[in-house]
């Protein structure tokens, strides 16, 4: 199903970055969220952060550059054109994820903060202050789901949220969709983590 808000995001990212080095091919403006849109937003962020060779993933260089620029939170986001574009990238990612940031306007206000808090809550994270830490921005720039999806198990989702709550710093923010999967296993890289497969058999 086509989402008008996602289509606006796709049109904006194409129009803003199509002539910028590293953006790559324009994405289809069909209003449907997919990896191509998420990748385009990721590369757009890297362009804004001055990364010479943008890639499709939010890796260590993107993380360090974003932290150096300043992790966003309400009341402390630069309002210059660059700051507004980075906020739009976040708001676009919100729409693609199914969270309403209150507009696609480059202004980090209460509704954008609330969208961030909702993801923090859905993912089971301990800090739900609405600040866009690097790991939060990375979580938005994926196709991972943090809400229960079709045929998902609430029991598995609760376990996924508990793993995120304890181990997001080492394993990253993992999906909370109620489906036991490879990414759920990533949260078990710490040897002290409970083997959750025994809980769901």
pLDDT of 12 higher than 90:
yes
Cα separations (Å) of 18 from 36, 56, 92, 93, 152? Answer: 14, 15, 16, 18, 38
pLDDT for the residue numbered 1: 85
For 137-172, the pLDDT digits (tens) are: 999 999 999 999 999 999 999 999 999 999 999 999
Question: Does pTM top 0.85 for this prediction?
Answer: yes
Looking at the DSSP assignment, which residues form a beta bridge with residue 132?
72
pLDDT of 47 higher than 60:
yes
Helices 4-17 and 35-48 pack at an angle, to 10 degrees, of: 40
Q: Cα torsion for 152, 100, 97, 29, to the nearest 10°?
A: 130
pLDDT of 192 higher than 60:
no
pLDDT of 190 higher than 90:
no
For 53-110, the pLDDT digits (tens) are: 999 999 999 999 999 999 999 999 999 999 999 999 999 999 999 999 999 999 999 9
Q: How many CB atoms lie within 10 A of CB 60?
A: 8
């Amino acid at each position: 199903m086509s989402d008008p808000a996602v289509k606006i995001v796709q049109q904006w990212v194409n129009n803003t970055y199509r002539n910028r080095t590293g953006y790559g091919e324009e994405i289809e403006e069909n209003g449907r969220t997919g990896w191509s849109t998420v990748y385009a937003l990721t590369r757009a962020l890297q362009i804004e952060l001055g990364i010479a060779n943008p890639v499709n993933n939010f890796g260590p260089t993107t993380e360090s550059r974003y932290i150096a620029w300043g992790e966003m939170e309400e009341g402390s986001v630069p309002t210059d054109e660059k700051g507004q574009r980075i906020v739009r990238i976040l708001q676009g990612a919100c729409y693609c994820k199914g969270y309403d940031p209150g507009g696609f306007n480059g202004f980090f206000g209460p509704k954008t903060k609330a969208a961030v808090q909702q993801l923090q809550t859905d993912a089971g994270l301990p800090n739900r202050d609405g600040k866009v830490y690097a790991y939060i921005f990375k979580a938005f720039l994926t196709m991972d789901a943090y809400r229960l999806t079709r045929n998902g198990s609430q029991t598995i989702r609760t376990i996924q949220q508990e793993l995120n709550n304890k181990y997001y710093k080492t394993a990253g923010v993992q999906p909370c969709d109620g489906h036991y999967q490879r990414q759920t296993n990533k949260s078990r890289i710490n040897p002290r983590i409970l083997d959750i497969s025994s809980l769901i058999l």
